[in-house]
Structure 1
Amino acid sequence: MNNRYLKARTLARAKHQGQMYGNVPYYVHLEAVSHLASPFGTDAMVVAQLHDVIEDTPTSVDELAADFGSIVADAVAYISDAKLDDRYSRKAEIHQRLAALNVDEEAARIALIVKACDRLANVRASLHGKRAYFTVYQEEHSSFKQAVYRQGLCEAIWWELDNLMSRSQAS
């Protein structure tokens, strides 16, 4: 494994210590997202490990930039929810921000990939856990895809995500 990835994994586990993802430690979710991001390179795996540290811990963008560089820090910042009170407002704000990203910028490209991987990991987990979360992801799917999808960027991730959404709607 790459040293930058191991450093990111170690930092993320320390920052998320004590947090849970359903009934498992939070790092289980981070590992799932990193696994999905692995075909897209080390930076995508690093961002996958760190994707929730700004949102869920007192970690700053500057701290991430000092440890991992501006591409990783910017990518994590792009996909971090704003500190707004309700889910609807948070998602509306981040969808607007993500829709404006240009894939020609490396940090934006990685952010969009990791955001899609994160959603797929969440959807997979919701199918084996609380079905109410899956319903929320179904309701948000259209606006999420409109904001995050870029043709040719990570088609296999979107193929599975779209299939899970449509197959479960039919059942």
Structure 2
Amino acid sequence: MSHAVEQAREWARVRHALQRYGAQPYRCHLDHVERIAAPYGEDARIVAQLHDILEDTATRVEEIAERFGPTIARAVMLVTDPRKPTRHERKRALNQRLIALDPSDDAAWLALIVKTCDRLANVIASSEHSPPRFQQYQREHGGFRLAVYRPGLCDNLWTELDELIDAGQQADRHPDHQLHASIS
């Protein structure tokens, strides 16, 4: 593993130390996103480790730029939810930012890939452990896909993400699922 990836991992663990991801330490989510991002290179792995650091900690974008350079800092900034009062407003504003990105720009390319990796990790985890959160991702999927998907950019991740969302929607429509849900 490269020194920069290890530095990002350790820094993120310190900054997110008290945060949880469901029942797990937050680092489990960051590591999952990094594993998904690994085929896209070292910078994608670094952004994966740092993707929530501006949103969830007191870290400033200037600190990221000092440690990892301006491209990484800008990519992290691009994937960070804007400060808005509701999730709906945050996601709408973020999607507006993401839809305008040109993947020929290095920071935008990283942001689009890592945002897809993050959503895939969240959908996998919620499909296994949090049905209400999974349903939220199902509802948001169309707008998210419209904002983030670019043909030829991490298509394999989109195939997996779409299949998970579709499988969940099919299960929701299946009569046995509805019977089980009403019994539970």
Structure 2 length-normalised TM: 0.92
CA–CA distance in structure 2, aligned partners of residues 112 and 26 of structure 1: 22
SS in 1 for 2:74: helix
Alignment gaps of 5+ in structure 1: none
Alignment partner, residue 64 of structure 1? 64
1:132 CA displacement: 0.2
Deviation, 1:148, is 0.3
Q: Where has structure 1 moved over 4 Å in runs of 4 or more?
A: none
Give me the whole-angstrom Cα distance separating, in 1, the residues matched to 2:38 and 2:64.
Answer: 20
Identity of aligned residues (%): 47
Letter in 2 for 1:140: E
Partner of 1:35: 35
Q: In the TM superposition, what is the alpha-carbon distance from 1:82 to its structure 2 partner?
A: 1.0
Computed over aligned residues only, the root mean square deviation of the Cα atoms, in angstroms, reads 0.4
Q: State the match for 1:53 in structure 2.
A: 53
Larger Rg belongs to: 2
CA-to-partner distance for each residue in 1:75-123, whole Å, 9 max, x for gaps?
0000000111110000000000000000010000000000000000000
- Length, aligned pairs only: 171
State the secondary structure of the residue aligned to 1:44.
helix
Supply the distance in 2 between the matched residues of 1:10 and 1:167 (Cα, whole angstroms): 36
Pairwise mapping of residues 107-118 of structure 1 onto structure 2 (< 5 A)? Answer: 107-118=107-118
* Cα distance in 1 for residues equivalent to 2:129 and 2:166: 19
Which position in structure 1 is the counterpart of 2:174?
Answer: none
User: Larger RCO: Structure 1 or Structure 2 (Cα < 8 Å, ≥ 6 residues apart)?
Assistant: 1
What is the rounded CA distance, in whole Å, between the counterparts of 1:127 and 1:166 in structure 2? 12
Is the partner of 1:84 in helix, strand or coil? coil
TM-score normalised per structure 1: 0.99
Pairing 1:15-164 to 2, within 5 Å after superposition:
15-164=15-164
> Which residue in the other structure is 1:13 paired with?
13
Stretches of structure 2 that go unaligned for 5 or more consecutive residues are: 172-184
SS of corresponding position for 2:141: helix
